[in-house]
Amino acid sequence: MSHEQGTVLTAAFLAVAAVACRPDPRVEERVVTVHTPRACALEPARGFAQMYPAGDFEPGVLGAFESLFLREKGKALASMPADTRALVVDASDAQQARRWRGMAPVARAGAVDVLAWPEREACRLTADVERRQATTIGAVDERRVLVVGGRSASGASIPRSYLADMTTGDVVPLRFGIATPRDGPTITAFGRAADGRASGALVAGGRVPDTGTPLDTAEVFVASDGGGDFVPEKIAIEPRADHAAVVLRTGETLLVGGAGRDGLLRTMQIVDPTSRRAISQGVATLRVPRRRPIALRLASGEILVGGGTDADGKGVATIEFLRPDATGPAKREIELKPGARETFAALPAGGALVVMSSDPPASTTVWAITGDGALEAGIPVAGLGDVALFPGTEGAPVLWTGSRWLRWAPWSGTFQPIPDGPSTGPREGAATAPDSGLVVWLSDDLDQGMHVWGFRHGVRGPYQGVPRSLLADGPAYVTPDRLPGESARYDDRRKGLALANGATALLADATFARVSVDVESPSGGAPLVVLREELGGEVVVGGPTCPLVVGSRVHVERDREVVRASVDRGPDVTCAPRLPRDARVSVAVRSGPSPAFVTSLTVTRSP
């Protein structure tokens, strides 16, 4: 991308060495380009950067594979492992005492682009977006963000659709875009490519701008190496507006509630990316119909439906839980007195956080829904306005209060200010999170135009390295599925993690293809070890389908579909449940029938 398009860059050559079964390795040259937004530019003449590769290897051995001045355009870099799957860039300008940080996926072939955002600052991308109202912004994957729909301020019947690239900072209008004028559609990832990433997006429902009539079609964006665009064919759905949409663990999209042409809808539909059809048969119905519900896929794969308003415009108190395939309820619903504005975020270990604001302020503004569906009151947050919750790294969702950014502290059960965080954030909920460390939103900057803004608050990802001393000095990087208390707490005196009542504590961010796990419990009551697929399935080592004898040391190895375990260095037991061969897993510990106390947790990534 050129300077005129709004990004300052430096390019370098990257040699990637792949060691084959022969004396000489195969070497492939790749180009790495570091971008920064022009509105918050890092001057190449003064910039210095460190680059950290990540993949299914232990990055702690490598550290930063390269340090360079950004003016060294075209410099040949040191080699990186061929199985590098992510690249983190940490850049600085000593004269300004500022830092920029970026993280981007690394495909198996081709150039590598990384967009570095200024640390603790919100920044806009340079290109204008056609000014409009009632538009939607949504992530296709960690690289692509779509801006579609709404009513154009210029009077155009359909405002242009835009694609923002989160690895370069490019914001470009699509050649075709959506074909139907629609206010407030939903956007979800749709379909999966061979590498597991989304192959496109579904833009569903919404209203006819002139009449407010709910729309009965959905449109499909197909991603490509050059960006992608919408295809002409449409998918017929039940007329639906002011609804929610969530991706099931099968890759299908579930359309939830909202308003139809004759009132609020109890119905839901599943849209299949393979057949390109909407399915109603066998899909559950909502117990409580609602306009503008919130739908989340939880760590278990279950779907939470909460929030929204009823036919009289009053907040809905009922929170419902659906099975992962949306064929029926997963557990009993719970009741939570609604606020004027509500926001939900799934917790990576299980369950969810809820934050609500109201006038006058409520005594309780923060709630946790545990992994087993119980409701716990948290410590209130004052000064809440137009609240919005987003996923966060280290198991810590971030909260925009309408005037400041806060981060969840899992083991104190509080939201805490992000030091020197920005005072700019999303308005009216038009925001999305392409990855767990980045929030992106659309903002009308008045005489300066309408722009895509972003705030990068973290750079940890699924290939993140894991510290060797987990739990030795505290519970960092490990996060619970509930508020800290008698069921889940870190004992500073005994230096260990105490779990009871089925509580789960998960190693946040990192996922693994092959992994070994060692757990020590001096009391002899070792916890269950959970290997959880990204889409919600689990193998529970020590549970009914993979029983173990009682001991103080448990060793677990996952090699593709096979999971083996041993206790106190005894013989291996092969677990009967098998994981899908190519599924990535996260690692958690959980109390079983008896409380567990864990003093050591060692997780080793295997190539």
Contact by Cβ (8 Å): 341, 371: no
User: Any residues with CB less than 8 A from the CB of 446 and at least 6 apart, and which?
Assistant: none
Ranges of beta strands (E only) in 421-536 are 431-435, 438-444, 450-456, 478-480, 488-491, 496-499, 504-507, 514-520, 528-533
Of 65, 88, 118, the one marking the end of a domain is 118
Q: Residue 438 domain-assigned? A: yes
Contact by Cβ (8 Å): 499, 487: yes
Q: Residue 471 domain-assigned? A: no
Provide the pLDDT for residue 21.
43
| Triad 425, 430, 435: Cα angle to 5° | 75
Provide the pLDDT for residue 360.
72
SS3 content of the chain, % helix, strand, coil (to 5): 0, 45, 50
Whether pLDDT at 523 is above 80: no
Task: Specify the 3-state DSSP secondary structure of 174.
Answer: coil
Q: Residue 441 domain-assigned? A: yes
Residues 104 and 29 in one domain: yes
Residues 271 and 370 in one domain: no
Buried/exposed code over 340-363 (b: 16+ C-beta within 10 A; e: otherwise): ebbbbbbbbbbbbbbbbbeeeeee
Task: Give 197's pLDDT tier (boundaries 50, 70, 90).
Answer: low
pLDDT (mean) for 292-315: 96
Better-predicted residue by pLDDT, 150 or 11? 150
Task: Specify the 3-state DSSP secondary structure of 449.
Answer: coil
In terms of DSSP bridges, do strands 75-76 and 7-18 run parallel, antiparallel, or are they unpaired?
parallel
User: Any residues with CB less than 8 A from the CB of 23 and at least 6 apart, and which?
Assistant: none
Q: DSSP code of 230?
A: E
Distance of CA 38 to the CA centre of its chain: 26
Which tens digits make up the pLDDT trace of 496-512? 999 999 999 999 999 99
pLDDT (mean) for 17-29: 57
Give the separation between CA 545 and CA 534, rounded to whole angstroms.
Answer: 20
Tokens of 570: 């005894």
Residues 216 and 269 in one domain: no
Task: Give 467's pLDDT tier (boundaries 50, 70, 90).
Answer: confident
Residues 137 and 113 in one domain: no
Residues 357 and 333 in one domain: no
Better-predicted residue by pLDDT, 590 or 18? 590
Tokens of 308: 């929204």
Provide the pLDDT for residue 363.
79
Better-predicted residue by pLDDT, 116 or 13? 116
Q: What residues pair up with 297 in beta bridges, in sequence order?
A: 303
Q: How many domains does the chain have?
A: 5
Task: Give 218's pLDDT tier (boundaries 50, 70, 90).
Answer: very high
Given its phi and psi angles, is residue 251 left (phi above 0), alpha (psi -120 to 50 degrees) or beta? left
| Triad 496, 498, 499: Cα angle to 5° | 145
Provide the pLDDT for residue 501.
93
In terms of DSSP bridges, do strands 144-148 and 136-139 run parallel, antiparallel, or are they unpaired?
antiparallel
Residues 483 and 370 in one domain: no
Give the separation between CA 121 and CA 137, rounded to whole angstroms.
Answer: 21
Ranges of beta strands (E only) in 94-161 are 98-105, 112-115, 117-118, 123-124, 132-133, 136-139, 144-148, 151-152
Give the separation between CA 212 and CA 183, rounded to whole angstroms.
Answer: 8
Of 234, 265, 300, the one marking the end of a domain is 234
Which tens digits make up the pLDDT trace of 6-22? 444 555 555 555 443 44
Q: Of 112, 108, 110, nearest to 66 (Cα)?
A: 112
Of 73, 96, 118, the one marking the end of a domain is 118
Task: Give 193's pLDDT tier (boundaries 50, 70, 90).
Answer: low
109-113, 360-364, 511-515, 516-520: least confidently modelled range: 360-364
Contact by Cβ (8 Å): 49, 70: yes
- The amino acid sitting at 590 is R
Tokens of 103: 């993280």
pLDDT (mean) for 278-305: 97
Q: Of 389, 397, 388, 386, nearest to 437 (Cα)?
A: 397
Residues 430 and 484 in one domain: no
Residues 402 and 424 in one domain: yes
Provide the pLDDT for residue 19.
42
Which tens digits make up the pLDDT trace of 75-104? 777 777 788 899 999 999 978 889 999 999
Rounded to 10 degrees, what is the CA torsion of 52, 58, 63, 64?
A: -20
Whether pLDDT at 63 is above 70: no
Rank 190-204, 428-442, 524-538 by mean pLDDT and report only the highest.
428-442
Provide the pLDDT for residue 550.
83
120-124, 517-521, 536-540: least confidently modelled range: 536-540
Provide the pLDDT for residue 465.
87
Q: Residue 55 domain-assigned? A: yes
pLDDT (mean) for 189-193: 83
Residues 421 and 493 in one domain: no
Contact by Cβ (8 Å): 5, 170: yes
Provide the pLDDT for residue 516.
96
Contact by Cβ (8 Å): 319, 331: no
* Domain residue limits at 447: 350-456
Whether pLDDT at 199 is above 80: yes
Q: Residue 570 domain-assigned? A: yes
Residues 8 and 95 in one domain: yes
Provide the pLDDT for residue 397.
98
4-18, 105-119, 127-141: least confidently modelled range: 4-18
Task: Give 1's pLDDT tier (boundaries 50, 70, 90).
Answer: very low
Residues 109 and 164 in one domain: no
Whether pLDDT at 4 is above 50: no
Residues 75 and 141 in one domain: no
